[in-house]
Amino acid sequence: MQLPIVLALILCDDVWTDRNSRKLSVLGVYGSLMVARSNPRVERLTVYTSLTECPARFDVKVRVIDVNDERTAVAERMEAVESPDPRAVLQGFFRFDGVNFDHPGEYRVQLWACDELLLERRLLVAHI
C-alpha cells in the first residue's frame, strides 16, 4: 500500500473553518510551550495536517509522546479518513484538550497513517 505523503504537520492554538468556503485557517502557530510548574496543563493543543497520495480509506493517528517514555502517549487520537482521489490534498486537524506535560523537556508530535510513522516533530516544553 502506498503511504500518504505529508505536506504539513503544524502545532497551533486552533484551526478555524470558514462556514462559506470551508477553508481552514491555522491560528497561533508554535514550536515550543511554556507551562506553569504548578499546573503543567495546556488547555488546548491542536495539530494541523495536510496529506496527499492517500489510499481510498485509511486511519490517521496523532500521538504526543515524551522522548523518555515513547510507549505511553501524553495525548493520542485516531480518525478514519476517506480520500476521493489519491491526487487530492486532504487537510485536517486534531484537537487535544487538557494535555498535561508533567515535566519540562523534549516531546514529539507524531503523525501516523496505515500503522506507519510518517513524520514526527520536536516540541520543547518549559516550566515557568
Distance CA 37, CA 49 (A): 30
Distance CA 61, CA 127 (A): 27
- Per the confidence metrics, is the pTM higher than 0.75? yes
Q: What integer best gives the mean pLDDT of the chain?
A: 94
pLDDT of residue 70: 73
Question: What is the CB-side half-sphere exposure of residue 52 using CA atoms within 13 A?
Answer: 5
Percent of the chain residues topping a pLDDT of 70: 100
Going by pLDDT thresholds of 50, 70 and 90, the confidence category of residue 115 is very high
Per residue in 68-109, pLDDT (tens digit) is 887 789 999 999 999 999 999 999 999 999 999 988 999 999
CB atoms near residue 92 (< 10 Å)? 15
Annotated domain spans of the chain:
5-127
pLDDT of residue 72: 84
- Mean pLDDT of the 11-31 span: 96
pLDDT at residue 110 tops 90:
yes
Instruction: Rounding to the nearest 10 degrees, give the CA dihedral for residues 86, 88, 90, 91.
Output: 160
Looking at domain 5-127, its CATH class is: mainly beta
pLDDT of residue 91: 96
